[in-house]
């Protein structure tokens, strides 16, 4: 197969503050192979070789192969290579193939259907993401083998037919023909993809969200809601299952008195009976949103634009939602170098000094913090985690957030917005919508951790990015109220959504908060464990246009930490620690500018 060094993706690197441009399609990305890319490729190759050595050691030892943990360790080695280099056209397909091979090998010992399904999914991701890889037809052949072994002959035939259709000259075409003949299928009847069709793989395409639930299963577009403020509007479209999305633009039509519009075609989908066809907004950015059954299985949602400067579109799962953010011309905040109203940054050892090194963009600009959004996690019908004594996460984090808001207002003299002040349910998409609408400078989401074992304890702070370990994936899955599989699907959605400045600022904020939170608690409490700063794909942080973090204050599943979380004194200490971290982040930003 020819290796294409400039290819289209719609895959993640976490994380998200400026989402893909609406121009053309939000799912059309390009990977440029430059000098930095070559250096990254060399690094990826070395990491892959190390993981391959670990696999070779496992494969050579019958004793090691008997234990599941040994397989998982090797799989994790390959997973970290993939998460570090998800877009490398040379290494990423190899890593996916090896992960699938490991899961298939593990199945031989475990006989768990979940293991063999993991293998199939890795092969499928390889084919979908890297159709021009020399391993694509290998992956399809292995998918067919697995389906035949697990009693799904029709699926096996489909996989082998696809090899003949899309990869007639591939290394596994002959084997696929033999398999089909044994299954009573005439290989000659399989039509090959035309050369014109094959060449399309090298051209930019409009990317769509695949419907993974089978052919003929149509989604229902159930509801359309919006949340609006000056210079910002968020529209959320709710669907019963994943749909493909195509995006287009329509010019203004003066004769028909139609404004400039853009639309989303959702398919296969039906519009729910009773769903309004016309939703008036008329807030200066969007005039209205219209939904109609455009084709037998396509629902078109049209956005009538007013003074909209920019729009961003992305989607979330569980439930499946398409989110559109509209921004006005004056949405972007002005640069500000005014010193915030904070107390003098003095201590017994003298003034706080900023560490040497490269300054972040915010530090270079000396941006001030006027508005902070504090987000108490969960609420209402979503109680969050629950401790053995009945302590509910939603109640604890609300109390901590209220204390934090009071401290920030007093110490910083800035506006502090809480996403909820009572026990009410708030969709994840609305939380960041509130932050965006208020043009917040910082977004802090407060949570309490939980784990299957009561022994786990500690405090950790997250920012939006890839999850690089199982613990981070577990926490993200719980807070997203979804499974690891869904987290994996999320990662395939979010490629290049974040700008480096937002990732760096979120990471810097997370470090300041984590350090000061641990330091504050250790002064008053024993056995305070520092789990550090981590990254993971949290839905609640997606779409935030400012540095944003999620704080896991303690494990509500741990008996001792549950008792502490119920204590007003402990809640206050947590709030003060978080506040100190935020204040230090702001002071160092200002100090770097002044110096």
Q: Is 302 left (phi over 0), alpha (psi -120 to 50) or beta?
A: beta
Do residues 397 and 451 touch, judged by C-beta distance below 8 A? no
Give CATH 1.25.40.10 domain extents, the chain.
8-17+30-202
DSSP, collapsed to helix, strand or coil, labels residue 360 as: coil
Rg (CA), the chain: 26
Do residues 168 and 176 touch, judged by C-beta distance below 8 A? no
Helix (H) or strand (E) holding 443: strand 442-449
Q: What is the C-alpha to C-alpha distance for residues 261 and 250, in angstroms, rounded to an integer? A: 5
Structure tokens at 514: 């984590």
Q: What is the C-alpha to C-alpha distance for residues 259 and 286, in angstroms, rounded to an integer? A: 10
Do residues 136 and 127 touch, judged by C-beta distance below 8 A? yes
Place of tokens 């969007």: 286
pLDDT at residue 490 in the model: 46
Query: CB under 8 Å to 548, separation ≥6 — which residues?
Result: 17, 432, 435, 442, 443, 444, 445, 463, 464, 506, 541
What is the length of the chain?
595
**Letter string b/e over residues 339-354, b meaning 16 or more CB atoms within 10 A of that residue's CB:** ebebeebeeeeeeeeb
pLDDT at residue 221 in the model: 94
In this structure, the number of other CB atoms found within 10 A of the CB of residue 306 comes to 16
Structure tokens at 438: 């208020």
DSSP, collapsed to helix, strand or coil, labels residue 226 as: strand
- What is the third-level CATH fold of 8-17+30-202? 1.25.40
pLDDT at residue 247 in the model: 86
- What is the third-level CATH fold of 219-328? Immunoglobulin-like (2.60.40)
In this structure, the number of other CB atoms found within 10 A of the CB of residue 193 comes to 15
Structure tokens at 76: 């994790």
pLDDT at residue 273 in the model: 83
CA distances from 117 to 103, 105, 489 (A): 8, 12, 14
Give CATH 2.60.40.3500 domain extents, the chain.
219-328
Q: What is the C-alpha to C-alpha distance for residues 411 and 405, in angstroms, rounded to an integer? A: 10
What is the tens place of the pLDDT at every residue in 343-400? 444 444 444 454 445 555 454 444 567 889 999 999 999 999 999 999 999 999 999 9
CA distances from 4 to 8, 33, 254, 285 (A): 10, 10, 45, 41
Q: Which residues of the chain have pLDDT under 50?
A: 1-38, 194-214, 334-352, 354-356, 361, 363-366, 467-468, 481-501, 592-595
pLDDT at residue 541 in the model: 76
Give CATH 3.40.630.40 domain extents, the chain.
371-594
pLDDT at residue 193 in the model: 53
pLDDT at residue 252 in the model: 82
Q: Is 379 left (phi over 0), alpha (psi -120 to 50) or beta?
A: left
Do residues 11 and 125 touch, judged by C-beta distance below 8 A? no
Do residues 167 and 136 touch, judged by C-beta distance below 8 A? yes
Alpha helices in 193-308 (DSSP H): 195-199
Do residues 297 and 305 touch, judged by C-beta distance below 8 A? no
Do residues 590 and 366 touch, judged by C-beta distance below 8 A? yes
In this structure, the number of other CB atoms found within 10 A of the CB of residue 396 comes to 29
Nearest partner of 589 among 501, 461, 515, judged by Cα:
501
**CA neighbours within 13 Å on the CB side: how many for 151?**
1
CATH number assigned to the domain covering 371-594: 3.40.630.40
In this structure, the number of other CB atoms found within 10 A of the CB of residue 138 comes to 22
């Amino acid at each position: 197969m020819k290796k294409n060094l400039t290819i289209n993706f719609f895959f993640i690197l976490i994380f998200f503050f400026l989402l893909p441009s609406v121009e053309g399609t939000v799912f059309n990305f390009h990977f440029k192979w430059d000098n930095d890319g070559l250096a990254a490729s060399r690094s990826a190759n070395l990491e892959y070789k190390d993981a391959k050595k670990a696999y070779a050691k496992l494969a050579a030892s019958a004793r090691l192969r008997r234990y599941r943990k040994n397989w998982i360790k090797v799989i994790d080695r390959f997973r970290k290579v993939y998460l570090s280099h998800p877009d490398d056209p040379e290494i990423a397909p190899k890593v996916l193939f090896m992960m699938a091979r490991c899961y298939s090998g593990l199945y031989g010992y475990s006989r768990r259907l979940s293991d063999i399904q993991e293998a199939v999914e890795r092969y499928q991701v390889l084919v979908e993401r890297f159709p021009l890889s020399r391993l694509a037809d290998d992956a399809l052949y292995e998918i067919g083998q697995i389906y035949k072994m697990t009693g799904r002959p029709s699926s096996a035939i489909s996989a082998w037919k696809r090899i003949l259709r899309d990869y007639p000259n591939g290394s596994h075409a002959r084997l696929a023909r033999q398999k089909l003949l044994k299954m009573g299928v005439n290989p000659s009847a399989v039509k090959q993809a035309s050369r014109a069709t094959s060449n399309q793989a090298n051209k930019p395409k409009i990317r769509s969200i695949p419907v993974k639930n089978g052919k003929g299963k149509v989604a229902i577009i159930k509801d359309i809601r919006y949340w609006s403020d000056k210079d910002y509007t968020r529209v959320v479209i709710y669907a019963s299952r994943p749909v493909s999305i195509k995006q287009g633009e329509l010019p203004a039509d003066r004769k028909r008195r139609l404004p400039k519009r853009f639309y989303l075609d959702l398919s296969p989908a039906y519009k729910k009976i009773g769903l309004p066809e016309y939703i008036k907004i008329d807030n200066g950015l969007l005039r209205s949103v219209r939904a109609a059954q455009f084709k037998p299985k396509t629902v078109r949602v049209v956005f009538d634009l007013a003074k909209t400067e920019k729009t961003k579109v992305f989607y979330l799962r569980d439930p499946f939602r398409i989110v559109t953010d509209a921004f006005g011309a004056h949405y972007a905040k002005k640069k500000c170098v005014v010193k915030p109203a904070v107390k003098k940054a003095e201590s017994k050892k003298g003034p706080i000094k900023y560490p040497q090194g490269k300054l972040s963009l915010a530090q270079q600009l000396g941006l001030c913090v006027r508005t902070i959004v504090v987000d108490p996690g969960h609420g209402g019908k979503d109680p969050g985690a629950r401790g053995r004594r009945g302590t509910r996460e939603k109640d604890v984090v609300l109390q901590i957030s209220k204390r934090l808001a009071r401290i920030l207002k007093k110490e910083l003299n800035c506006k502090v917005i809480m996403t909820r002040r009572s026990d009410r349910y708030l969709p994840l998409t609305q939380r960041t919508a509130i932050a965006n609408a208020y043009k917040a400078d910082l977004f802090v989401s407060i949570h309490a951790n939980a784990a299957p074992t009561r022994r786990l304890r500690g405090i950790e702070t997250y920012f939006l990015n890839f999850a690089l370990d199982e613990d981070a994936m577990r926490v993200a899955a719980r807070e997203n109220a979804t499974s690891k599989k869904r987290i994996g699907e999320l990662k395939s959605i979010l490629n290049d959504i974040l700008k480096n400045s937002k990732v760096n600022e979120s990471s810097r904020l997370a470090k300041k908060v984590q350090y000061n939170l641990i330091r504050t608690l250790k002064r008053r409490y024993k056995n305070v464990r520092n789990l550090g700063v981590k990254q993971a794909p949290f839905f609640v942080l997606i779409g935030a246009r400012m540095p944003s973090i999620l704080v896991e204050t303690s494990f509500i599943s741990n008996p001792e930490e549950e008792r502490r979380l119920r204590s007003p004194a402990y809640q206050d200490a947590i709030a003060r620690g978080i506040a100190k971290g935020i204040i230090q982040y702001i002071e160092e930003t200002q100090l770097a500018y002044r110096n």
